[in-house]
Amino acid sequence: MATKDEIIAKAKAAVTNFDNDAAEAAAQEGLDAGISPVEIIQEGFTTAMNEVGDQFEAGSLFLPHVIAASEAMTAGVNVLTPALEALGSEMESKGKIVIGTIEGDIHSIGKDIVATMLKIAGFQVYDLGRDVPINDYVKKAKEVGAQVVASSALMTTTMVSQIQIEEQLKEAGLRDSLKTMVGGAPVTQDWADKIGADIYGENASDVVTKLKEMF
Ligand code: B12
C-alpha cells in the first residue's frame, strides 16, 4: 500500500499534470488509506494549485493551464466532499453564515472549501456563489438573521470591494449585530484590520478554529 506522503504526492501531481482522473483516484486512495480529507486538500491539491499560480504569474503557464488545473482540483475535491460532510452531519447548528466570492471575482475553489469546512463544523451555511453583488450579502444576512457575513476575494482588484460590505452593512443597520469575515489569497490580517472586518481566515482550518472560539 502507498504511504501517506506518496498519496499526497499523487494528489499534487494530478493537479500539476491537469489530470482529473488521477485527482479522483488520488482522493479515493487517500480516503481508503484513512488519510484526512482536509490534509489531502491542503497538503496535496492546494499546494499544487499554488505552484500553478506561481508559474502563471511567472509566465511559464497560461490561463488554459490554470483552468485545467482547477478542474482537476475540483474533480478531486468532489470525491472528498461526501466524506467531509459525513464528519459533521450529526452536529447541531452553531450559527448562520452567509458566504460568497465578491463581486467581479469568479474564483470559487477556496470559498467552496471554506464553506464545506464550516458546514462540517456545524454552522448553517448560505453560499451565494461567486461574483456576488455586495447588496446580495446584505439582503441574505437580513433575511436569515446571519451571525457572520464572509467574503472571499482572490484578486487585489476585487478585495477593495470588501470595504463596501462593511459600509453597506452599516447603512442597513446590521453591522453591530453580526461579525464580518474576510479571506482569499491577497487578503491579510492587516487588510482585515484596516477595513474593520472582525475575522481574518488564512485557510479553511484557521477559519473553523477562529469561529469555534467565537461561537
Ligand atoms: C485557479 C485560479 C483561477 C481559475 C478559478 C477557477 C475557480 N472556479 O475558482 C480561473 C482559471 C477561472 C481563474 C481566472 C482568473 N484569474 Co486566477 N487564479 C487561480 C489560482 C491559480 C489559484 C486559486 C485557487 O483556487 N487556489 C486554491 C484555493 C484552495 O486557495 P485559495 O483560493 O487561496 O483559498 C484558501 C484561502 O485563501 C482561504 N480563503 C479563500 N476564500 C476565503 C473566504 C473566507 C471568508 C475566508 C475566511 C478564507 C478564505 O481559505 C481557502 C482554503 O484554504 C490563483 C493563484 C493563487 N496562488 O491564488 C490565480 C489568481 C488569483 N488569478 C489571477 C488572475 C489575474 C485571474 C484572471 C483575471 C485571469 C485572466 N486574465 O482572465 C481571471 C479572473 C477572472 C475574474 N473576474 O475573477 C491572479 C490575480 C492577481 C491579482 N490581481 O491579484 C492570480 C493571483 C494568479 C497570478 N499569480 O497572477 N483563475
Kindly report the CATH class assigned to 96-214.
alpha beta
Helix (H) or strand (E) holding 210: helix 204-214
Query: What's the CA-to-centroid distance between 177 and ligand 1, angstroms?
Result: 30
Instruction: Give the residue from 80, 81, 76, 121 showing the smallest Cα distance to 97.
Output: 121
How far out from the chain centre does Cα 197 lie?
A: 17
Tell me the CA–centroid distance for residue 122 and ligand 1, in Å: 26
Residue 6 confidence (pLDDT) above 60: yes
Distances (CA, A) of 83 to 18, 35, 62: 23, 11, 33
- pLDDT reported for residue 84: 79
| Span from the CA of 9 to the centroid of ligand 1 (angstroms) | 22
Q: Does the beta carbon of 110 lie inside 6 Å of ligand 1? A: yes
Residue type, 57: E
Nearest CA residue ID for atom 44, ligand 1: 183
The verdict on the CB of residue 105 being under 6 Å from ligand 1 is yes
What is the average pLDDT across 91-119? Answer: 89
Residue type, 118: L
Q: Is the pLDDT assigned to residue 33 strictly greater than 90?
A: yes
- Look at residue 154 in the predicted model and tell me its pLDDT: 98
Tell me how far apart the alpha carbons of residues 93 and 146 are, in angstroms, rounded to a whole number.
12
Q: pLDDT over 70 for what percent of the chain?
A: 97
Mean pLDDT of all residues belonging to the chain: 93
Nearest Cα to Cα of residue 201 among 122, 131, 114:
114
- Output the residue whose Cα is nearest ligand 1's atom 87: 53
Average pLDDT on 37-60 reads 91
Q: What are the residue boundaries of the structural domains of the chain, listed by start?
A: 4-88, 96-214
What tens digit of pLDDT does each residue of 116-129 get?
888 878 889 999 99
Q: What is the pTM of this model?
A: 0.89
pLDDT at 117: 83
Predicted confidence (pLDDT) per residue in 150-198, tens digit = 999 999 999 999 999 999 999 999 999 999 999 999 999 999 999 999 9
Which atom of ligand 1 is the closest one to the Cα of 150? 45
The architecture in CATH of the region 4-88 reads: Orthogonal Bundle (1.10)
The Å distance, Cα 61 to ligand 1 centre, comes to 15
Distance 111 CA to ligand 1 centre (A): 10
- Joined together, the cell numbers standing for residue 8 give 499526497
Whether the per-residue pLDDT at 85 is higher than 80: the answer is no
